[in-house]
Structure 1
Amino acid sequence: MSSTPESTTGTTARVLRLLDLLQSRPVWSGTELAGRLGVTTRSVRRDVERLRELGYPVNAAHGAGGGYQLGAGRRLPPLLLDDTEAVAIAVCLRLAAGGTVEGLGEAAVRTLAKLDQVLPARLRSQVEAIHEATVTLDGAASPVDASTLLVLARAVRETERVTFAYAGPRGSGERRVEPYRLVATGRRWYLLAYDLDRDDWRTFRLDRMTQVEARGWRFTPRDAPDAVDYVRRSISRDAYDHVARVRIEAPKSLVEKHIPPSVGTVTADGRSRCIFEAGGNHLGAMAMHIGALPWEMTVLDPPELRDTMREQAGRMLRAIGDTATD
């Protein structure tokens, strides 16, 4: 009696599963692979040969510590990705394609086009939800909980109300909001939302959120402020006890190269001057940072900052033995 040959579909599925296993760990023994695939070690050897014929460099070593290992070839072989990996790569590529990673824009666009072509619709919608709901203020953002990011991104796109527990500087509690935009800064992620309990616009740090839920309650979008400008003001001045206004004797384009948007706002004051605004809780620290800027300047507000800078200047002159102070 002749044995029934393996179906082509079954063999292909098993070879793809073998490739996935080889990509997930550096070394596998033949026995381990056979157990995972539910076949004999002889079938494993045949499937390894099929991979090699397709151009995958599978190395095999005998003896203690030996086994099968996916090696580096002259060309990058296709990768098998699970859902989470595919979404993560697509989101990173979209950020890079948008210019947030220097020098990778063109390559990111080409790679993203290939990946987007084969992404299932359910995964493509997740990627689009994160991308469409996100704008970049400056640089790359710090890691945030992926589930939180995805829930908020979907809620932004679907105009769904969100509830979450929030540990803010002025206390903790549950918040009910209408989410509008996610903003990535060089250090953190923020949500621009309309706070239903405070009847006003607010920004929230994602790393301070827990128990984030979208309950399916839809809302009618309001006229929202510009997300980047609002978050920039919130994190650079509105949350602080003091706000400094300084006229700098340098054009806005030059000053902006030295001051990140998350630190303060810079607005033009003619062609050769600009106004720098930033917040802080300690006048002494603000005076030191502003005094370190490499341009001539005039402190406009607050008067207390001018007094603090005058005191610091006197101490510095005395420290170097210069007593010719006013």
Structure 2
Amino acid sequence: MSQVSLTHEVVSRCLSLIPLIREHQGMTLDELSRLSRLPKEQIADELGQVLLMCGVPPYFPHDYISFSLNGDRVQIHFADHFRRPVSLNPLEALALKLACESLTPPGKPVPRAVATLLRKVEGAMSTEQRRQFKNLARRFAVRETEDLPGGITGRVALAVAERRRLLLDYVAAGRSQSREREVDPYGLLCREGHWYLVALDLSREKVIQFRLDRVRRIQVQDDRFEIPDGFRLDDYARAPTIPEGEDRARASVRFHGPSARWVRETATPGTVEEEGDGRTVIWCPVIGTDEGLARFVLGFGGDAEVLAPESLRDRVQDALRGAHAAHG
């Protein structure tokens, strides 16, 4: 068994294999390799080392998920604490439901494994909790994003999964002519109803976010690539989205109290300045209109103070006045 580098990508990949193996206990490594599109030697090495870490205190043998190979057949054995049903309160169950629905590709039904999971969560609730959950679920919905003409979103998602290079015919914001871009697609993000491709632009040797509704045509190449070990899609999901060619004016927001610490720990490096007395100033890009940034600031209530630009201050103040008028 070769030593495995336990990166975020490797751990996530192994955890995603657990339900597949659990549903098909005793499947062969060849079958698992075909379904997961991974070499069987890689599967055996990674699962054998990653699952050694999947346990809870006090870390006795029965507190871990274990992986075994009987000849060429794969089995997963859950730790004892998995034998008890998961019990979520109605708000936790609603958050899980909305998160699962938001990850479903455009135009596709909720995957069977996700539907089964949600049924089990609901089944573990008491009668009163189930009633509250259903009442909450009727009041919230994930806005479905439609696929783009030519099935661009689906084809890009497949290229991301298979790590295949793409040629994009892309129109940057503020331009009328498209340009061909050769990219290595690292991942997809959906924000405020728009899909963004996070990809390495080979001509600029830089990771850039491309808004998919500005892609006119794509061509999936045969060339394959490897994602760098240090890349984390979460970093781009957390940071403000700056699509290629967008306006890059900046806003300045001061945070106080508990929110200041959260900002210091999660903001993109180089965008934060500590002022002392627990106060923190962050510089954020203003992309197009400042409506999205205003909603972000309002979410922190009295812990956030807009310093610039004036237009953002006005928008936040207008929103506060409207809320006060509506609710007294």
Q: TM-score, normalised by structure 2?
A: 0.40
| Higher Rg of the two aligned structures | 1
Q: TM-score, normalised by structure 1?
A: 0.40
